[in-house]
Amino acid sequence: MQVLCVPTEECGEIICEICAKQYKLYFERSSREDREQAIAQVLQALAQHHIQDEGIDAHPERPFNVPEWSGRPELSGAALLGGAPLPF
Ligand SMILES: [Zn+2]
């Protein structure tokens, strides 16, 4: 399922294991099992950012979707169904 990751300075729900950047997550679906799977996917995606770009700014500064989505993140199912604060 789709997740929206929004960078935050504090109280993130997920922390990059490599650079400790924090994100709030908004989920398209709300079952616990789905969330656990999605969190694992997000951790993988964050690690992938570091593989692609070794700089300190490996992650996008703007909110982004996992899995990657070509549309605008604020119009994604995860943003709308997950109750993300809009507009960013
Ligand atoms: Zn990182």
Mean pLDDT by 10 residues, the chain (88 residues): 94 92 95 95 95 82 94 96 91
Neighbours of 17 (CB within 10 A): 10
Domain locations in the chain as residue ranges: 3-82
Instruction: Output the pLDDT for position 11.
Output: 86
Instruction: Output the pLDDT for position 41.
Output: 96
Instruction: Output the pLDDT for position 56.
Output: 67
Distance 8 CA to ligand 1 centre (A): 13
Instruction: Output the pLDDT for position 80.
Output: 95
Distance 10 CA to ligand 1 centre (A): 15
Distance 69 CA to ligand 1 centre (A): 20
Distance 15 CA to ligand 1 centre (A): 8
Instruction: Output the pLDDT for position 25.
Output: 96
What's this model's pTM, rounded to 2 decimal places? 0.90
- Would you call 29 exposed, middle or buried from its count of C-beta atoms within 10 A (0-12, 13-18, 19+)? middle
Distance 62 CA to ligand 1 centre (A): 14
